[in-house]
Amino acid sequence: MARLRFVLSFLFLFILQAIYVATDSESFIGVNYGQVADNLPPPSATARLLQTTAIEKVRLYGADPAIIKALANTGIGIVIGAANGDIPALAGDPNFAKNWINTNVLPFYPASNIILVTVGNEVMTSTDRNLMTQLLPAMQNLQNALNAASLGGKIKVSTVHSMAVLKRSEPPSSGSFDPGLADLLKGLLGFNNATGSPFAINPYPYFAYRSDPRPETLAFCLFQNNPGRFDPGTKIKYANMFDAQVDGVRTALNWMGFKDVEIVVAETGWPYKGDENEVGPSMENARAYNGNLIAHLRSMAGTPLMPGKPIDTYLFALYDEDLKPGPSSERAFGLFRPDLTMTYDVGLSKTSQISGVCQ
């Protein structure tokens, strides 16, 4: 009888742990919900779909009220965005920023779990110097508007950067920002540091592979078996490109004096098809990258410079965006089809999670 009680107690603890893992440990997995398309399902259907997955955060590029409202009472964290075109008005007029918050946040929060407002997308590499200098004042005015609404400690404000803000990222120990952006970045990072908001970056091993299409580079990018890459500065051997890129950003932040600013991966993904002249897109590669990335995040290993903690990562993307210009790969990042079926399985379904693929 004592043995039976022991076994039952063990099983009970195991079940509790499994419930904890299923409900709490996936909060680092997010997805980008782009809308440059004419065939997307209704927001209500998307909200139901997301609730069947391990995805707990959604990043919007705007502030579509229908989507924000559809995600109400789901518990899903929502990132909303102010467009690049709104930055001059946000920077120059505190009332515009107040009205932006009154329109896009207050009618929905807290039922809709808005956690972050991103101001612009990849502004610092846009070559528009006026826009670049207006970015920080725009962020400050939105922060002030949130503070005035007593939401300053609950909803953060930041912006999203491309990897091009770095002058160097390889090896990771040499990570450094573009000197031409240093003064502006110091201001933005000072804001991140003071408000506790994240430094959001868009690392894409896919693009790294396109510029270096050797067989070992593909395996390195896809989290598959490979010789690894040795960083002589830290004596660390990196097993995958994602960790190397993120640690390059970490090094750059540390050298700038912002060791406490958290990194968030705002976008990363791999296209499942492309044009004949494109290197890298395939269903097999996309499934390997996204599936192995998810498994890597779930392992809680973190990166060599940030061990033991997964980086909040937003996969690109929830759906294909069929109206996007450019090569066909730009329209082939979707994890789900418009009919809500999976494009390929990477273990996101709550009923059929997998630990990893294509090792």
Q: Name residue 302's beta-bridge partners.
A: 307
Structure tokens given for 153: 């400690």
Q: Name residue 307's beta-bridge partners.
A: 302
Q: Report, in this order, helix, strand and coil percent for the chain, each rounded to 5.
A: 40, 20, 40
Structure tokens given for 289: 């990258």
Least Cα distance to 58 among 35, 30, 29 occurs for 30
**Active-site residue flag, 56:** no
Dihedral sign for Cα 305, 290, 200, 48, please: negative
Beta-carbon contacts of residue 318 (< 8 Å; ≥ 6 apart): 31, 32, 33, 34, 46, 58, 334, 335, 336
Say how many CA atoms lie within 13 Å of 252 toward its Cβ: 29
140 three-class SS: helix
**Active-site residue flag, 267:** yes
- In the chain, what is the straight-line distance between the N-terminal and C-terminal CA atoms, in Å? 44
Catalytic residue among 56, 262, 267, 321: 267
Catalytic residue among 26, 56, 122, 262: 122
DSSP assignment of 175-238, as one string? -EE-GGGHHHHHHHHHHHHHHT--EEEE--HHHHHHT---HHHHHHHTT-S---EEETTTTEEE
- 326's torsion region: left (phi>0), alpha (psi -120 to 50) or beta? left
Structure tokens given for 327: 């090569």
62 three-class SS: coil
Indicate the burial class of 211 (C-beta count within 10 angstroms; 0-12, 13-18, 19 or more). exposed
Written as one letter, the residue type at 269 is G
**Which sequence positions are flagged as catalytic?**
122, 267
